[in-house]
Amino acid sequence: MCRFVAVDAYSTSWLNLNPDAAQSLTAWLTVGAFRPQMSGMSDPLDTVFAALADPTRRSILAMLLEDDMAVTDVAEPFDMSLAAISKHLVILTRAGLIAQEKRGRVKWCKLEPGAMKAASVWMQGFGQFEPVNLDAFERFLEAEFSPEDRNREE
């Protein structure tokens, strides 16, 4: 039996598989055999959120917040090949989150903050709801419906 909620090299606890099978499944999912292709997504917001779903890509974006970086510098802190980082960069570029340009023989990446605007606006729509403080609500109900108030009403 195989069930998976989040699949990556570190989530083998979510899989009822041995670690080798989990790595094979991770590799299969990484190459896009299971998840929808980025280029096939019709809504740009879907593409942005799909790109942001991966922790490696979020780390890359955090690194690019500081300054433009060469692809080799982006790849340095990660324990993966340059080809794997390049695939992540392609996904971020297609989502419009970064731009890549060649300067001489070096390919540079820079953050495109405008691409996050639609996602930010969409998420802010959920910020209008204040979290409910259940303790305060309970105190309010006790004060409104205390036994003393009921006696006065009768």
Question: Hey, where are the domains in the chain?
Answer: 1-35, 36-153
The pLDDT of residue 128:
66
Assess contact for 55 and 77: CB atoms under 8 A: no
CA distance 38 to 78: 23
Three-state secondary-structure class, residue 99: strand
The pLDDT of residue 9:
40
Structure tokens at 63: 């690194």
Q: Residue 40: pLDDT above 60?
A: no
- The larger pLDDT score, comparing residue 37 to residue 93, is at 93
Q: What is the pTM of this model?
A: 0.57
Class of domain 36-153: mainly alpha
Assess contact for 7 and 29: CB atoms under 8 A: yes
Q: What is the pLDDT of residues 72-128, one digit of tens each?
A: 999 999 999 999 999 999 999 999 999 999 999 999 999 998 888 888 888 887 776
Provide mean pLDDT across the span 54-78. 95
Contacts for 98-104: CB closer than 8 Å, 24+ residues apart: 98/60, 98/61, 98/64, 100/71
Burial class (CB in 10 A: 0-12, 13-18, 19+), 116: middle
CA distance 107 to 87: 14
CA distance 66 to 58: 14
